[in-house]
Amino acid sequence: MPEPFKLTRIPSLKTVADFRAHCAALGIELPCEDAIVTGNSPLAEPVPNVLINGKRIGNRIAIHPMEGWDGTTTGGLSDEMRRRWQRFGESGAKLICGAEAMAVRPDGRANPNQLIIIEQNKAGLAELMGLLKQAHLARYGTTDDLVIGFQLTHSGRFCKPNGKTTYEPRVAFRHPILDPKFKVTSDAQVFTDDEIDQLIQDYIKAAQIAWDVGADFVDLKHCHGYLLHEFLGAHTRPGKFGGSFANRTRILREIIAGIRANGNPIEFGVRLSTFDKVPHRPDPALSVPGKLGPGIPEEHAHALPYRYGFGVNQNDPTQIDLTETFQFVELCTQLGVKILNTTAGSPYYTPHLQRPAAYPPSDGYQPAYDPLIDLERQVQVVRKLKEGRGSRVESRAPEAPGNSTPSTLDPRPSAPLFIASGLSYLQEFLPHVSQYLLRHGWADMVGIGRAVLSYPNMLADAATKGEIEKRFICRTFSDCTTAPRNGLISGCYPLDKYYTAKPEAAQLKEIKKRVGA
């Protein structure tokens, strides 16, 4: 039996020179600066030449949207959720890029405790906004440069609205590999065109609620295999929402047009899985009881040409293809989308692409090679996309405050702000690499996601203090994913004492021991 590779863990790299030498040995281009800097830190610079709802973003730090597993069964608030939003406000990030993934209707939830952005929950959403803003104001003195968005979503293939282990999928098309895994057994589970027309109205209503409670923009979620992302790969779907690129992006165009036709001046962002690969699984040859094997591609010879994804090579779906990704960026530009938050793959079937980690979630697999390779791939892709069209930061003149009702097709189109993602695995070297990406124009902003759970103000500390507290750094244990995958609330159980003290911590430890995560 072949042996899995030996992972060099980031904490074992004691200096920047060690990190650079390791990257060189891997053959990847992941540059970083020599030290964490203050005073002239690019992390602390405001974003010039672009306004979101009349506001200039006060620094280059963004918080990615996260899917909540800890609300009420009616899609409302909990104490855990309130605490998380308060910590978002305390983080120092000036762009809250989606905050929480919010289902636009109850049956679109990925779990029974996800936030739902409907009229009945409007007061709760306003409360969360108030908590976030109050926390930010108390620590940083102003919210005039704080920009907040709500991520709108329908979970599609991954819907579990009524039970933590009960899939109730609705899909854009039948998928020969994913259908068995996620309980798609009938064509009746495929959305009809008429049902999609109604869903578009749900997005329009949700965007109005977002505006009413004070959000500056809505993030129309096109990532991680959720419904709008799945539509980007609907090559085999007949009708007006499938087949051609124009048809597969029709749902985005009609949502934006409908929001504008409704008189809603809210701005737009998109979180996009810029590329994907064929679904992966643990290698059975290297899997033993209590130990997941490394990830390998699922058998896919029967699914060639692979017409079931976006940003993936149809003839060899183990490889990426950015041809349509560039087309999508151009479409976003024409539609007046101001923020493009990049990511990759899906946590459900290609977690190594989406969130490089040293330790897998319970439904994942061990890394088959150094996770820095996948991290560098995301960095290089956002660099290519930004260089391919130019950036709002470089090309757009400031808009007048209050001029927040652009037409559906911007007569002065400029590319969105590009946010780099997948960076948490850098750990100690996150500030050093982030500084380089921003200073050299590889990205307009850097975003952090689950690492916020253990250390919300990590990058703000770096920019203001020139140092970070290592005891709070996310080590990519994946407990924040393994817990909800097994019916528990999400949180950083290893590093956040709030969760360490909960009874779920002991349950999680037993689950991990059992599955070998």
- Count of structural domains within the chain: 1
Percentage of the chain with pLDDT > 90?
Answer: 89
pTM (2 d.p.): 0.93
Q: Is residue 308, in this structure, part of any structural domain at all?
A: yes
Q: Is residue 416, in this structure, part of any structural domain at all?
A: yes
Nearest-5° Cα angle at 192, 189 to 196: 110
Coil, strand or helix at 144: coil
In this prediction, residue 400 carries a pLDDT of: 30
Query: What is the distance between the alpha carbons of residues 314 and 5, in angstroms, rounded to a whole number?
Result: 29
Indicate if the pLDDT at residue 352 is higher than 70. yes
Q: Is residue 22, in this structure, part of any structural domain at all?
A: no
Domain that holds residue 227: 43-515
Nearest-5° Cα angle at 363, 448 to 160: 85
Q: What is the mean pLDDT of residues 509-513?
A: 89
In this prediction, residue 454 carries a pLDDT of: 94
Q: Is residue 35, in this structure, part of any structural domain at all?
A: no
Q: Is residue 4, in this structure, part of any structural domain at all?
A: no
Query: What is the distance between the alpha carbons of residues 326 and 172, in angstroms, rounded to a whole number?
Result: 22
Confidence band, pLDDT 50/70/90 cuts, at residue 20: very high
**Higher-confidence residue: 340 or 288?**
340
The 10s digit of each residue's pLDDT in 168-196 is 999 999 999 999 999 999 999 999 999 99
Q: What is the mean pLDDT of residues 340-365?
A: 96
Query: What is the distance between the alpha carbons of residues 14 and 358, in angstroms, rounded to a whole number?
Result: 17
The 10s digit of each residue's pLDDT in 392-420 is 433 332 233 333 333 344 444 688 999 99
**Higher-confidence residue: 513 or 277?**
277
Report the CATH number that the domain containing residue 245 is assigned in CATH: 3.20.20.70
CB-CB contact of 225 with 153 (8 Å): no
Q: Is residue 481, in this structure, part of any structural domain at all?
A: yes
**Higher-confidence residue: 109 or 39?**
109
